[in-house]
Amino acid sequence: MALMTAAQYIESLRKLNTKVYMFGERIENWVDHPMIRPSINCVAMTYALAQDPQYAELMTVKSHLTGKTINRFANIHQSAEDLKNKVKMQRLLGQKTASCFQRCVGMDAFNAVYSTTFEIDEKYGTKYHENFKQFLEMVQEEDLTVDGAMTDPKGDRSKAPHGQEDPDLFVRIKERRADGIVVRGAKCHQTGSVNSHWHIVMPTMAMGPDDKDYAVSFACPSDADGLFMIYGRQSCDTRKLEDGADIDLGNRKFGGQEALVVFDDVFIPNEYIFMEGEYDFAGMLVERFAGFHRQSYGGCKVGVGDVVIGAAALAAEYNGVEKASAVKDKLIEMTHLNETLYSCGMACSCEGKPTKCGSYMIDLLLANVCKQNVTRFPYEIVRLAEDVAGGLMVTMPSQKDFDAETVVGKNGETIGDFCNKFFVGNGSCSTEDRMRVMRFLENICLGSAAVGYRTESMHGAGSPQAQRVMIARQGDLQGKKELAKRISGIK
């Protein structure tokens, strides 16, 4: 197949026996559930654009394994150009969905596992790299969406995995068999997990000898026996369940999703195991995945930022203040911050270098600088957008009020008449259009879409301190001291 259409992707999800729970009950038809479907639409866009000749250069690439044309989300980066095109693709999808399109985490897992398994095999004579290549060829041929699962619940953060009171707070090998392993535990905050065909599980931190059972990486299908998901709440998410709430949704077609993925004694055959106790490589896998994923934020969050800036500019126009110098300056600052994020994403890509197996790795220092900025700049972009939009963004009545025909006025006016009368803008747009852009900004800044932009900018791919740790490691402070010594004449 190699390239699925958007419709084929959605249909492929219906064929899975994925176990999804929400509000304490199993959701049988989760594909069409109004709270879940917007996130599926986001993933579908990654398939739709790959079918569009206008975007073929960004969305598709030749597989270095098979020579076939594949979706870039299943690609192993072979050059700095590949790394740059990845970021450009992510910005494009952010612009098209104004949300999280969920395939980045799997793509970043592919590239981290690919190079790490090569180096594990080099040291220990294992066959993990071949296992992974065969798995990836299947993913590429069937154009599958894969969730990259790294974040464990962690429990008591002061203790290592083996030191937890409950051993299941990190995914672990419970049993070893001749034909595979049985794993137990959970991965939390899993972006797009419900919408994925498969999962790649990775350790969540560097580990020591006592953590061998937790140093595990593998792939398994989303409907594997013993695997189930509990859907995460988002602000304003139940608006999607309301009738007549089209305007109130803001971004009515697209949205992100997160879930708790539980592994309740799941069997993993040997051919899908990519690490089994090699604790000394857990840190490498985490570091590489985190680096790739921090690069990703220089693309996806920038694309969403483009839409936020556009919505703020529309709000200013509809409010009649688009010519005010203060408003113009705020939009300039938003653009400056957004393009700075993009520059970081491109910079770490341009400085990419080959790993031992030939695949390309981003510059880790610049990737962490990119994500450190992402933990800050979107918050300022959102603050400025809220400033430009005004308080109506969070105080307006519901769409049902605008549509209401209940007579309340002395001259026969309805509730809807009064809403449309008093919330009119500068006359260049309808009251409804003004309300739509306000609700859209509310959704991006405060509502369910904030998971894919505002809050995810803080905690996705590691919270701020994680990047600062890596910046300290990669910053070569000693080398900088030597530069100062040489120039100042210190022997």
Return binding residues for FAD: 191
Dump strand ranges (E) for 150-286: 172-177, 180-187, 198-201, 216-221, 227-231, 259-269, 273-276
388: nearest Cα among 422, 427, 436, 437: 437
CA distances 156 to 161, 166, 179, 210, 462, Å, are 9, 10, 33, 17, 17
Q: What is the C-alpha separation between 95 and 459, in angstroms, rounded?
A: 21
Q: Which residues are catalytic?
A: 100, 104, 191, 258, 293, 297, 300, 456
Output the known binding site.
Answer: 191
90: nearest Cα among 308, 363, 296, 337: 296
Neighbours of 410 (CB within 10 A): 6
Quick one: tokens of 1? 């197949």
β-strand partners of 62: 69
471 close to 287: Cβ distance less than 8 angstroms? no
Q: What is the C-alpha separation between 223 and 2, in angstroms, rounded?
A: 22
Quick one: tokens of 327? 């408003």
Q: For the purposes of burial, counting CB atoms within 10 Å of the CB of 180, is it exposed (0-12), middle (13-18) or buried (19 or more)?
A: middle
β-strand partners of 185: 263
345 close to 297: Cβ distance less than 8 angstroms? yes
Q: What is the C-alpha separation between 86 and 73, in angstroms, rounded?
A: 8
Q: Give DSSP secondary structure letters for 331-364.
A: HHHHHHHHHHHHHHHHHHHHT-EE-TTS-EE--H
What's the start-to-end Cα distance of the chain, in Å?
65
295: nearest Cα among 331, 234, 242, 342: 342
229: nearest Cα among 270, 251, 196: 196
